[in-house]
Amino acid sequence: MEKSWPMWLGLVLGLGAIGAGLAFWPTPELQWSAATRYSARIGFPLLILTYSARPLFDLTHSDWARSILARRKWIGLGFAMSHSVHLVAIVTLFRLRGEVPETVTIIGGGFAYVLLYAMALTSNRRAMQALGRWWKRLHLLGIHYLWFIFAQSYLGRIFREGTEFEGAMGLTIALAAAGLRAAAWVRKRNLRKVAVAS
């Protein structure tokens, strides 16, 4: 339980986002629309922490970065929990509206959830050993694809009236996290070159 608490925190925060939507808006459609937005916002920091944990440690070697890295799996599972709640909110909202999502949304979003659950189900040593090199490929593809989904969502909000600031902030955070990963990759490559040269 000492390391797994971020997973349960993700579930609690996701359910709290649903509760906030239901509590503060007057009609079912507005309630579930708000719940969808709130649960996405709750999940984003958990995804960014998971995405940034390794490069933060590689670049700083600090105790706080080590602590985040040690809990990365559980933070990622916390994101899976909160984003599962987000999925419930999305499905409920579309059912209330009597609408069907666009094909591109079903394919793009559906693939994101397939990757999310594949990563969640393989976040253990047994799966890592069974999949071999494919484990790393799966998790690398999954984390980058989930990052992309959020990044393009925030980019779209920049050009939508009333959500410009939220879009700019979210995209800035997403790009900063990508910058961290790029910087860590460059540093590791340079260290490898130095080691080979010596």
Specify the pTM.
0.93
Residue 162 lies in a domain: no
Percent of the chain beyond pLDDT 90? 92
Show the domain range for 48: 5-152
Residue 158 lies in a domain: no
Q: What is the mean pLDDT of the chain?
A: 95
Residue 157 lies in a domain: no
Residue 192 lies in a domain: no
Strands (E) in 104-166, as ranges, are: none
Round to whole Å and give the CA distance between 129 and 190.
Answer: 29
Residue 161 lies in a domain: no
The answer to which of 3-7, 13-17, 138-142, 192-196 has the lowest mean pLDDT is: 192-196
Instruction: Determine the average pLDDT of the residues in 26-46.
Output: 96
At residue 151, does pLDDT exceed 90? yes
Look-up: residue for tokens 């690398």? 140
The 10s digit of each residue's pLDDT in 162-193 is 999 999 999 999 999 999 999 999 998 888 87
The 10s digit of each residue's pLDDT in 38-57 is 999 999 999 999 999 999 99
Residue 138 lies in a domain: yes
Residue 89 lies in a domain: yes
191 vs 28, 136, 179, 198, CA distance in Å? 56, 22, 18, 11
Tally of domains within the chain = 1
Residue 195 lies in a domain: no
Which pLDDT score, from 0 to 100, does residue 101 have?
92
